[in-house]
């Protein structure tokens, strides 16, 4: 993956500092800013490639995907959640809240793991405004899964990657959306502060 920033912020547990900010997060801020610019300027296949890359080997923090997609006045915009999502735990961003004009919505579906006492991402879904070239996304997923064992299944206009030994359990691709489902055995609890 050819990017001009490090991905360390996805895996760093920010420390609570009384009357201050974790110095490591201050150090990581330029990379977070470059990631935000990447999200807002790169083509969709590159964004999906990066998403898969960030979760391929280690479970990443989802908060950065959510917060850096938002438009600046997102708190003033009311989004109607689909009935299958929980407004208290899940994240739904309609096109009105996303700082891109080619995404119909973004979903992060959460699951409560009672044993660990934490919420974890069950899946992340990007839906597109217009139908996309499915093979372009297939190639992006293949590039980002380089070095991993996976199986590709194709049926009825859908391509599914079943991934072994990864935080990613599977990636489902259609010409309208991409859904990345995570492996519960690889979940890591992050307690985000910002």
DSSP characters for 43-97?
A: -HHHHHHHHHHHHHSSPPPSHHHHHTTB-TTGGGS-----TTS-TTT-EEEETTT
What is the dihedral sign for C-alpha 143, 147, 148, 152? positive
**163 in Cβ contact with 169 (< 8 Å):** yes
CA–centroid distance for 4 within its chain:
19
Q: Helix or strand or coil: residue 104? A: strand
Query: pLDDT of the chain along its 194 residues, tens only?
Result: 678 899 999 999 888 888 888 899 999 999 999 999 999 999 999 999 999 999 999 999 988 998 888 887 777 788 889 999 999 889 999 999 998 999 999 999 998 888 877 888 999 999 999 999 999 999 999 999 999 999 999 998 999 999 999 999 999 999 999 999 999 888 887 765 43
CA dist., res. 92 & res. 102, Å (int):
16
Q: pTM here?
A: 0.90
pLDDT at 165: 95
pLDDT at 187: 85
């Amino acid at each position: 993956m050819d990017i001009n920033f490090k991905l360390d912020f996805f895996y760093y547990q920010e420390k609570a500092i009384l009357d201050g900010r974790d110095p490591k997060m201050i150090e990581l801020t330029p990379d977070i800013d470059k990631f935000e610019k990447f999200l807002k300027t790169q083509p969709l296949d590159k964004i999906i490639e990066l998403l898969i890359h960030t979760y391929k080997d280690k479970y990443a923090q989802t908060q950065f995907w959510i917060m850096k997609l938002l438009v600046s006045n997102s708190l003033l915009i009311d989004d109607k959640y689909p009935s299958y999502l929980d407004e208290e735990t899940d994240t739904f961003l309609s096109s009105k809240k996303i700082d891109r004009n080619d995404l119909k919505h973004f979903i992060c579906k959460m699951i409560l793991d009672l044993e660990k006492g934490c919420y974890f991402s069950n899946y992340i879904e990007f839906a597109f405004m217009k139908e996309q070239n499915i093979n372009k996304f297939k190639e992006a997923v293949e590039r980002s899964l380089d070095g991993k064992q996976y199986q590709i299944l194709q049926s009825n206009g859908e391509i599914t990657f079943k991934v072994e030994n990864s935080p990613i359990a599977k990636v489902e691709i259609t010409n309208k959306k991409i859904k990345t489902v995570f492996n519960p055995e690889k979940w890591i609890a992050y307690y985000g502060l910002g």
